[in-house]
């Protein structure tokens, strides 16, 4: 079976690697170069988008910022999973917020802003502090502002107005003003839904961000009630979208309550641990869902930590001396802050994982892997046997 992925980055690459044993052949459409490529070898095929879509059995996506005309070609084919409505909801925070409300899942209070008077109306309605996020093209914390005090409002509006005037979008830009949530931690849920409406979800993953970018994800057995709460929200959102494929929900946890922060209509960075820690990895389950194959078990096989490699193309090979430690490079050229690869480390239990996570952190330079050593220490304090 031939599967065409919109986007030719590491997510398409890891789909291709996971699809090979199932005889699922993955090619990718590079949105930037307008070329059809092999996402592992980067070989370019002499095919245009329309022909590639026509030849594919299934069309899917690895990211949400696909130009609308490209999505239209995919949607028209009748074999685009997840559908264009789901991709658009992931790529536009206005649609995302409306979806969360329509699905009845808790999320941070918000207002949509397009001008100065709406900006001040949002401050009055929601109070301070506020997080302001561009509706379009936001990722990794880009296009975001924090407004803490009324005295800073005028300067923040000046920044936002300049951003909106300078943005090159074919779609109208807007800002979503959101209440600042004082969360206890951030967690995410990755799961899959098939065309029959069946769903499976992985255990909740605890996420640590540095400068708005995911740095560490930890997959441990989650409290049953919290897992249930997340699964209900997942099912509600996925059903509303008639979703097929892997979907990720990012949450703020406040006490025992989850609020959805955002959704990602695709395999997700916080699900990379599933390559070593789950019975079936998220990439295989995504392909199974879109190809109409039975979904695989999402059981946690062993507690696992994932560490992102950001802006570096080398790590000490000694990390491979750590038992159950696996290195995944994406074959990309080095750029500051760029997601270059990740490391998964597993243990039979949390205590063994804590030892190995500490050993891993000790091999990663602290100026390149910001806060990873601190996260490892906190984790060890919680789980290491004394
Ligand atoms: P990505 O797509 O990489 O996950 P993003 O740029 O789409 O990130 P968000 O996930 O919305 O942006 O925000 C980035 C981070 O900023 C969050 O993980 C969280 O730490 C913080 N944040 C976002 N919204 C809020 C909020 N309403 N209250 C408190 N913190 C927030
Ligand atoms: Mg996010």
Q: Where are the domains of the chain?
A: 2-80, 109-179, 185-383
Which residue's alpha carbon is at the smallest distance from atom 13 of ligand 1? 141
For 185-383, CATH number?
3.30.470.20
pLDDT of the residue at 173:
85
The answer to whether the CB of 177 falls within 8 A of the CB of 126 is: yes
Using the predicted structure, report yes or no on whether residue 167 has a pLDDT greater than 80: no
In the chain, alpha helices (H) = 10-19, 49-55, 68-76, 84-91, 93-102, 116-126, 153-166, 224-240, 274-277, 282-290, 350-363, 372-383
Kind and range of the H or E run holding 2: strand 2-6
- Do domains 109-179 and 185-383 share one topology? The answer is no
Q: Is 178 in the pocket of ligand 1 (CB under 6 A)?
A: yes
Kind and range of the H or E run holding 325: strand 325-329
Residue with the two structure tokens 């220490």: 377
Q: Is 163 in the pocket of ligand 1 (CB under 6 A)?
A: no
Q: Is 16 in the pocket of ligand 1 (CB under 6 A)?
A: no
Rounded to whole angstroms, how far apart are CA atoms 262 and 264?
A: 7
Using the predicted structure, report yes or no on whether residue 169 has a pLDDT greater than 80: no
Rounded to whole angstroms, how far apart are CA atoms 333 and 191?
A: 30
The answer to whether the CB of 184 falls within 8 A of the CB of 207 is: no
The answer to whether the CB of 29 falls within 8 A of the CB of 83 is: no
Q: Is 92 in the pocket of ligand 1 (CB under 6 A)?
A: no
Helix (H, G, I), strand (E, B) or coil at 5: strand
Closest ligand to the CA of 186: 1
Closest ligand to the CA of 93: 1
pLDDT of the residue at 221:
85
Q: Confidence class of residue 171 from pLDDT cuts 50, 70 and 90?
A: confident
Domain 109-179 indexed as CATH 3.40.50.720: no
- Mean pLDDT confidence for 286-309: 98
Q: Is 186 in the pocket of ligand 1 (CB under 6 A)?
A: yes
For 2-80, CATH number?
3.40.50.20
- Residue 82 preceded by cis peptide, ω within 30: yes
Closest ligand to the CA of 90: 1
Beta carbons within 10 angstroms of residue 138's beta carbon? 18
Which residue's alpha carbon is at the smallest distance from atom 15 of ligand 1? 212
Q: Confidence class of residue 260 from pLDDT cuts 50, 70 and 90?
A: very high
Q: How far is CA 248 from the centre of its chain?
A: 6
Beta bridge partners of 331: none
Helix (H, G, I), strand (E, B) or coil at 29: strand
Which residue's alpha carbon is at the smallest distance from atom 4 of ligand 1? 140
Using the predicted structure, report yes or no on whether residue 139 has a pLDDT greater than 70: no
- Mean pLDDT confidence for 268-285: 98
- Mean pLDDT confidence for 96-117: 97
Give Rg (Cα) of the chain: 21
Q: What is the DSSP letter of 152?
A: G
């Amino acid at each position: 079976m031939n599967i065409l992925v919109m986007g030719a980055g590491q997510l398409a690459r890891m789909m291709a690697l996971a699809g090979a044993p199932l005889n699922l052949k993955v090619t990718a459409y590079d949105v930037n170069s307008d070329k059809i490529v092999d996402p592992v070898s980067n070989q370019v095929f002499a095919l245009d988008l329309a022909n590639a879509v026509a030849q594919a059995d299934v069309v899917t996506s690895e990211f949400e910022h696909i130009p609308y005309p490209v999505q239209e070609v995919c949607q028209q084919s009748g074999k685009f999973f997840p559908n264009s409505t789901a991709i658009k909801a992931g790529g536009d925070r206005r649609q995302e917020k409306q979806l969360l409300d329509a699905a009845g899942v808790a999320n941070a209070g918000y207002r949509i802003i397009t001008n100065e008077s709406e900006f001040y109306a949002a401050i009055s309605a929601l109070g301070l502090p506020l997080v302001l996020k561009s509706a379009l093209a936001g990722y990794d914390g880009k296009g975001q502002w924090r407004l803490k005090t009324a005295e800073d409002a005028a300067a923040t509006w000046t920044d936002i107005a300049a951003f909106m005037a300078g943005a090159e979008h074919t779609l109208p830009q807007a800002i979503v003003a959101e209440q600042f949530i004082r969360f206890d931690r951030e967690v995410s849920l990755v799961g899959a839904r098939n065309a029959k409406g069946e769903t499976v979800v992985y255990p909740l993953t605890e996420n640590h961000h540095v400068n708005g970018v995911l740095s560490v994800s930890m997959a441990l057995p989650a409290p049953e009630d919290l897992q249930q709460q997340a699964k209900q929200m997942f099912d509600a959102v996925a059903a509303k979208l008639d979703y097929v494929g892997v979907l990720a929900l990012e949450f703020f946890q406040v006490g025992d309550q989850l609020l959805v922060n955002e959704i990602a209509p695709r395999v997700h960075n916080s699900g990379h641990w599933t390559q070593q820690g789950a019975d079936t990895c998220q990439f295989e389950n995504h392909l199974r869902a879109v190809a109409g194959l039975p979904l695989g078990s999402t059981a946690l096989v062993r507690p696992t930590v994932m560490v992102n490699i950001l802006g570096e193309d080398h790590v000490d090979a000694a990390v491979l001396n750590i038992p159950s430690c696996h290195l995944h490079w994406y074959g990309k050229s080095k750029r500051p802050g760029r997601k270059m690869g990740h490391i998964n480390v597993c243990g039979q239990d949390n205590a063994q994982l804590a030892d190995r996570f500490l050993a891993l952190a000790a091999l990663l330079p602290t100026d390149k892997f910001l806060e990873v050593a601190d996260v490892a220490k906190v984790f060890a304090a919680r789980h290491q046997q004394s």
